[in-house]
Amino acid sequence: GENVEQHPSTLSVQEGDSAVIKCTYSDSASNYFPWYKQELGKRPQLIIDIRSNVGEKKDQRIAVTLNKTAKHFSLHITETQPEDSAVYFCAASFYGQNFVFGPGTRLSVLP
C-alpha cells in the first residue's frame, strides 16, 4: 500500500522568512496530493492541493510543487506570519480514495 514520508518533523522560521515542507510517496498510482493545516486544538483543514497532471500550484503565499518521477511533493510558504504556526500534513490518494497522510510537520513562526 501507499506510504507517505514527511520532513522535517519540526521547523522554526523567523517571521517573514520562507518555509518548505517535503513529502515523498511510494505508490506511483497516487494522483491527488492535498495539504492540511491543523492549528492547536482544531480540526485539520485543507489549504491547497495538486493533481498529478500539474507540476505547480499557487494560492497567494502558499505553493505546492510535484515531481511525479521522483515521487515527491513540497509545500512552500513565503513571507511567513505568526498565524502560519500549526501542524501541516501532506497526503496522497488515488482519485480521492484512501487518503494516506504523512506524520506531520510542526511549524513555528518566531516574531
Partner 1 sequence: DADVTQTPRNRITKTGKRIMLECSQTKGHDRMYWYRQDPGLGLQLIYYSFDVKDINKGEISDGYSVSRQAQAKFSLSLESAIPNQTALYFCATSDPGAGAGDGELFFGEGSRLTVL
The reply on whether position 89 binds partner 1 by CB under 8 A is yes
Distances from the Cα of 72 to the Cα of 23, 35, 63, 64, 92, angstroms: 6, 13, 14, 11, 10
DSSP secondary-structure letter at 34?
Answer: E
Q: How many residues does the chain have?
A: 111
**Which one of residues 37, 64, 84, 104 is an interface residue with partner 1 (CB under 8 A)?**
104
Q: Among residues 103, 80, 102, which one has the least CA distance to residue 12?
A: 80
The reply on whether position 1 binds partner 1 by CB under 8 A is yes
Binding to partner 1 (CB under 8 A): which residues in 17-36?
31-32, 34, 36
Largest CA distance in the chain: 41
Nearer to partner 1, 51 or 61 (CB): 51
Alpha carbon distance 49, 41 (integer Å): 23
Nearer to partner 1, 19 or 92 (CB): 92
Nearer to partner 1, 45 or 81 (CB): 45
**Pair 84, 19: CB distance under 8 Å:** yes
**Which one of residues 20, 63, 101, 108 is an interface residue with partner 1 (CB under 8 A)?**
101
Looking at 58-110, list the stretches that DSSP marks H as alpha helix, in order from N- to C-terminal side.
none
Interface with partner 1: number of residues (CB under 8 A): 28
User: What residue ranges bind partner 1 (CB under 8 A)?
Assistant: 1, 4, 6, 9, 31-32, 34, 36, 42-46, 49, 51, 89, 91, 93, 95-104
